[in-house]
Structure 1
Amino acid sequence: MASERTYGDIPGYPPGSTFKNRDELADSGVHRPNQAGICGGKDGAESIVVSGGYVDDEDYGTEIVYTGQGGNDPATKRQIADQQLTRGNLGLARSQIDGNPVRVVRGAGGDPKYSPKVGLRYDGLFRVVDHWHDTGKDGFKIWRYRLVALESADPPPTSADGATGEPAARTEATIQRLVRSTAVSNGVKRLHGYECQVCGIQLTTPAGPYVEAAHIRALGKPHNGPDVASNVLCLCPNDHLLFDTGAIYVDADGVVRQAGTDAELGKLRLVAGHSLDWTQLAHHRKHHKS
C-alpha cells in the first residue's frame, strides 16, 4: 500500500550517514531491502542503491542514469535477459509522475569518484525526471532512469560511524544547471496560439492562456537533445505527461497514437513557421514507445 511508503529523509540519518553493510542499512530504514537495489512497487519507489551492480549505470554526482532491476547475473554483473516495467522499475516510473523524492545510497562498488571506499553511504534525496527503455551494453532491453539531486533540509553529520569511521568526504564542485531557453519555448507557444498540438485545447487562466513546451528529445544526460524549436512540441499538461511517459507517441506519418494499442488519436497539429525535426520524434518512439 502507498501508505506504507516513507518518502524523504529518515530521521536520525542525514545525508552523509554511513553503513558497514546492507543489514545495517536495512535496519536504519534508509533502504529497507537486504538485497534489492530498489525499494518500491507499483505505488512508487522510496530508495535505491547505486553500487556498480549494473554495467549500464552512469554516475555524475548530482545526476545519475540508473539501470532498473531484473535480468542481471549477480556473479558477473552482466545483463542476461530483458527487463520489464514491473516491481521497482514501475515504482521509479511512478515516482516520476507523483514527484516523490527518492533516497539514494551509494555503495563501495560504484563509481569511485562518487562512492565510499568501503560500505555504503546515504547521499540524500533525488527526483526522477525521466525514464525510458534502451538496449543495454549486453544487448538486452533495460529500463533507465535519470535522477537529479535535491537539496536536503537536514545538515550533514559532524561525524559518522560505520564504514569509514570518519565524515564522508565533501569537495567543492561547480554544478552545471540545465537552462532551458524561455525564448524558444515561448516562441513555439505563440506560433500555436497556445493550443495543444495533440488535442487542440487552450487552457484559459486569469493571467492568460496556458500551455507547455515539451522537448521531444530530453535535454539532460544521456539524451542531450538540442534546445531548439524543432525539438519542441506545444502541449497541454495532460498530453505533455502522456508524451513524456510514452503513453502516446507520434508515428512517421504524423499520427498521434496510443502506446500499447497503437490506436489512432488524430494527426499532430502543425502550423506554418514551426518545423519539426522528425528524427527526434523517431528517437522518442525508440526509447519511450512500449
Structure 2
Amino acid sequence: MAERTYGEIPGYPPGSTFANRTELAAAKVHRPLQGGICGGQDGAESIVVSGGYIDDEDYGNEIVYTGQGGNDPRTKRQVAHQELTRGNLGLARSRLDGNPVRVIRGAGANETHSPKVGLRYDGLFRVVDHWKDIGTDGYTIWRFRLVTYESLDLPRILAPPETSTRTTRVEATIQRLVRSATVAAEAKRLHDYTCQICGIKLMTPAGPYAEAAHIKPLGKPHNGPDVLSNVLCLCPNHHILFDNGALQIDSSGRVIDTMSNTFVVDLQQTEKHPLNWSLIEYHRNIRLADEQVAD
C-alpha cells in the first residue's frame, strides 16, 4: 500500500499548472498517470476533475464529484454500476478521517472553473458528504461533495492572531488541520477505532469510524496542544458528553458521570498511548460555561 501524502506538495502552490499528466505525476501532486482518484481503502489524497464524467458538477468552491468506474472513456458515458471500492472508498474514508484532498482541474471540464489547456492545481478541498445515486445514464454512481477550506468555518477550528490576513489564516489553518488529522488518525489506529469509554467499534461501509477528542481544547482561550497525549479515541456520543462536561476522568482513570456523580467505567488505555494527566486535570477544572471547541 502506497504511503499517502495529504495536503500541499512543497513547491506547488494553488494555481500551479502542468502541461500533461506526466508532469503532474512527476510533481507528485496527483501521482497516477491515469485515473481521476489517487487513493485506496486508507484514504484519497488527490482527484482530477477533467470532464470525464457527465454527472460531475463544478461550482468553484464546491464540487459534486462522480466516483470512478463504469465509464466508457470514448463516449464519457456510464455503461456500468459503480461500487464503493478503490478510489471511491478512499474518498469516503477521507470524509471520515477529515484528510484534505488536492483538487486538480483539467481542460475539457467546466468552462468557467477549468484551464483552457493542460491541468491546474486548485488547492485543498474537504470531502463533506458522499452518497449513492442513479446517474444520468441510469446506472448507480457514487457522488462526493467537496468544498474548499476557505469556505469552511476556519476561525472556529483554529483561532489565529487578529492581525493575520485572510490568506495567512487560511494557510495556517489548513496546515494545522493536516497535522491534526495525522494526530487523530494515530490515536484511532492505536485503539483500533474503539471508544475508550464504551468499548464500541462503529463500522460503516467505508470502514470503522471513531472521533479524536481533545482533552484540553484547541484554540482560544484554552490553547491545548495538538499531540497524542491530549487526545482520546471516542465514539460520537461519548465525545459530545466529554466535551460538554457530562463525563469527566478522575486521577485514577475512572470515568465519572457528572450529572449523577457516579462511576461509569475505567477508561480503556494502552501503553502505546500515554495520556498527559495534567491536561485531564485541566479538563476537570474547566467550568461548563467555558467555550468548548469541537474537533
Give the TM-score normalised by the residue count of structure 2: 0.53
Number of residue pairs the alignment of both structures matches: 165
CA distance in structure 1 between the partners assigned to 2:239 and 2:100 by the alignment:
31
Which residue does 2:126 correspond to in 1?
A: 127
Aligned to 1:19: 18
Q: How far, CA to CA, are the matches of 2:106 and 2:77 in structure 1?
A: 18
Change (3 A) 1:201 1:70: same
Gaps of 5+ in 2: 151-169, 173-235, 248-295
Relative to structure 1, the CA distance from residue 19 to residue 134 in structure 2 (aligned partners, 3 Å threshold; closer, same or farther) is same
What is the match of residue 142 of structure 1?
141
* Residues 114 and 84 (structure 1), Cα distance of their counterparts in 2 relative to 1, 3 Å cut: same
Mapped partners of 1:97, 1:200: distance in 2: 16
Aligned to 2:69: 70
| C-alpha distance in 2 between matches for 1:204 and 1:68 | 36
Unaligned runs of 5+ in 1: 155-198, 211-290
The equivalent residue for 2:28 is: 29
Question: Counterparts of 1:200 and 1:130 in 2: how far apart (Å)?
Answer: 20
In the TM superposition, what is the alpha-carbon distance from 1:129 to its structure 2 partner? 0.3
Asked whether 1:93 is paired with 2:92, we answer yes
Deviations 1:183-202 (A, max 9, x none): xxxxxxxxxxxxxxxx9989
Contact 1:202 1:209 in 2 (8 A): no
Matching residue of 1:117: 116
Give the whole-Å Cα distance in 1 for the aligned partners of 2:31 and 2:134: 29
Residue 133 of structure 1 and its aligned partner are, at CA, apart by: 0.4
One-letter amino acid matched to 2:20 = N
**Residues 92-129 of structure 1, C-alpha deviation per residue, up to 9 Å, x if partnerless?**
00000000000000000110100000000000000000
SS of equivalent residue, structure 2 residue 114: coil
Once residues 49 and 200 of structure 1 are traced to their aligned partners in structure 2, the CA distance between those partners, rounded to angstroms, is 36
Aligned-residue identity in percent: 73
Mapping of residues 157-176 of structure 1, within 5 Å = none
CA distance in 1, matches of 2:36, 2:76: 13
What is the Cα-based RMSD across aligned positions, in Å?
2.2
CA, structure 1 residues 202+66, in 2 after alignment: closer, same or farther (shift >3 Å)? closer
Aligned residue identity for 2:43: G
Correspondence for 2:230: none
CA distance in 1, matches of 2:25, 2:238: 48
Q: Distance in 1 between matches of 2:56 and 2:113?
A: 13
Separation in 1 of the partners of 2:244 and 2:89? 37
- Cα 1:138–1:11 change in 2 (3 A) is same
Quick one: distance in 2 between partners of 1:18 and 1:202?
A: 42
Q: After the TM superposition, list the runs of 4 or more consecutive aligned residues in structure 1 that deviate by more than 3 angstroms.
A: 199-210
Match of 1:54 in 2: 53
For 1:153, give the aligned amino acid: E
Q: Secondary structure at the match of 1:153?
A: helix
SS of 2:99 mapped into structure 1 = coil
Task: Give 2:175's aligned residue.
Answer: none
The one-letter amino acid of 2:62's match is E
Aligned to 2:227: none
| Partner in structure 2 of residue 280 of structure 1 | none
